[in-house]
Amino acid sequence: MGHEGVCAVGFQLMNGYRRPSLPAAVARQLRQEAGFGCAKCGHPYIEYHHIVPWAQEQHFRPDDMVALCGNCHPSVSLLGEDRQYAIKANPFNIRKGRFRGALAYDKRDLTFKVGGNWYADTPIILQLCDTSLISCRLENGQAMVSLMMLDEECHQILAIRDNEIIFRTDDMWDFRYSHNLITAHSAPRDVQLKMDFRGAEAIIEGKLQIGNAKIELSANETVLPGYNSMKGCHIHGCSVAIQLGDENEALPVRCRV
Ligand SMILES: [Zn+2]
């Protein structure tokens, strides 16, 4: 079974011989056609399966590959090729029109590095009017993150509520999920998100749309509408760290999923 490589010409050692890594563009095409989850069941944690087996022909043809989760991968591999192509042609998430799944994070505290600033034990990191865009809480020793990405008209492009993520598949250009790391790109509007909880710091970065303005959460700084920049701040025990707009005003968020 193939795993995505970091570059198109990378190689990995398998069974004593060198097998090239799956090209990034092929992996993205397979994610896109499957609605970013397993083609059979929609699960967010996917692998890339060769319908025409690698042992038979060494290829990375997207037409003869499909995205599958670790549960479905072995059983689908045993099906006839016609059944495998049928699963590829009718992916679970595309049928539903949405991606949904639980993000598994091994994160047990509420310290986050968001757009170049550190937030500890701060339940609401970013709020627009009465609606929190980035918030967190602890439940049974596990960090639960909630986050919202909106478009210009306050339609939800992506919502995470207590680590449960949902978005419409046609709102997303690319979405990658692996253990403790997600990246999302909504290409037409250039809205992006990265949540990287692999290292010592739990990093949240991206470009979030707010009406006609953007909030940039880059590695080193947070740029708010009006070009106010925040960098290197340590905020601890604050109920709301960044409030944009009037907290008594209702934000007309429209749910699309
Ligand atoms: Zn599956």
Distance 44 CA to ligand 1 centre (A): 8
Binned at pLDDT 50, 70 and 90, residue 235 comes out as very high
Residues 115 and 180 reside in one and the same domain: yes
Give residue 90 CA to ligand 1 midpoint distance, Å: 13
Residue 256 resides in a domain: no
Cα 47 to ligand 1 centroid, rounded to whole Å: 10
- pLDDT score for 16: 56
Q: Tell me how far the alpha carbon of residue 30 lies from the centroid of ligand 1, in angstroms.
A: 14
Rounded to the nearest angstrom, the distance between the alpha carbon of 76 and the centre of ligand 1 is: 9
Lowest mean pLDDT among 7-21, 122-136, 174-188: 7-21
CA of 143 relative to ligand 1 center, distance in Å: 26
How far is ligand 1, taken at its centre, from the CA of residue 74, in Å? 10
Q: What mean pLDDT, rounded, does the chain reach?
A: 90
In the reported structure, the alpha carbon of residue 41 is separated from the centroid of ligand 1 by a whole-number distance in angstroms of 4
Q: How far apart are CA 100 and CA 92, in angstroms?
A: 11
Tokens at 227, concatenated:
């070009």
Which tokens is 121 given? 């034990």
Query: 79 and 107: one domain?
Result: no
Rounded Cα–Cα distance for residues 118 and 115 (Å): 8
Domain boundaries, position 161 = 102-244
CA distances from 182 to 13, 131, 177, 197 (A): 26, 23, 5, 9
Q: 59 and 143 share a domain?
A: no
Q: Are residues 92 and 118 in the same domain?
A: no
| Residue 24 pLDDT grade (very low, low, confident, very high; cuts 50, 70, 90) | very high
Cα(67) to ligand 1 centroid in Å equals: 9
Tell me, yes or no, whether 87 and 109 share the same domain. Answer: no
Mean pLDDT for 40-57 is 96
pLDDT at 158: 92
Work out the number of other CB atoms within 10 angstroms of the CB of residue 6: 7
Confidence grade of residue 17 (pLDDT, cut at 50, 70, 90) = low
CA of 69 to the centre of ligand 1 (A): 4
Q: What percent of the chain lies above the pLDDT cut of 70?
A: 91
pLDDT tens-digit readout, 64-120: 999 999 999 999 999 999 999 999 999 999 999 999 999 888 899 999 999 999 999
What pLDDT band is residue 5 in, cutting at 50, 70 and 90? very low
Q: Are residues 19 and 130 in the same domain?
A: no
If asked whether residues 46 and 106 sit together in one domain, one would say no
How much distance in Å is there from the Cα of 232 to the middle of ligand 1? 42
pLDDT computed for residue 227 by the predictor: 80
Average pLDDT over residues 36-65: 96
Residue type, 187: A
* 199 and 157 housed in the same domain: yes
- At 47 the pLDDT is 96
Could you tell me if residue 250 is inside a domain? Answer: no
Ligand 1 midpoint to CA 176 (Å): 15
Note the pLDDT tens digit of each residue in 156-215: 889 999 999 999 999 999 999 988 999 999 875 677 999 999 988 899 999 988 777 789
CA–CA dist 20, 88 (Å, integer): 23
Q: Is the pLDDT of residue 131 over 60?
A: yes
C-alpha of residue 140 to centroid of ligand 1, in Å:
28
Is residue 3 pLDDT above 60, yes or no? Answer: no
143: which 2 tokens? 């960090």
Per the structure, the count of domains in the chain is 2
Residue 1 has pLDDT above 80, yes or no: no
- CA–centroid distance, 71 to ligand 1, in Å, is 6
Q: Ligand 1 centroid vs 172 CA: distance in angstroms? A: 20
pLDDT recorded at residue 15: 54
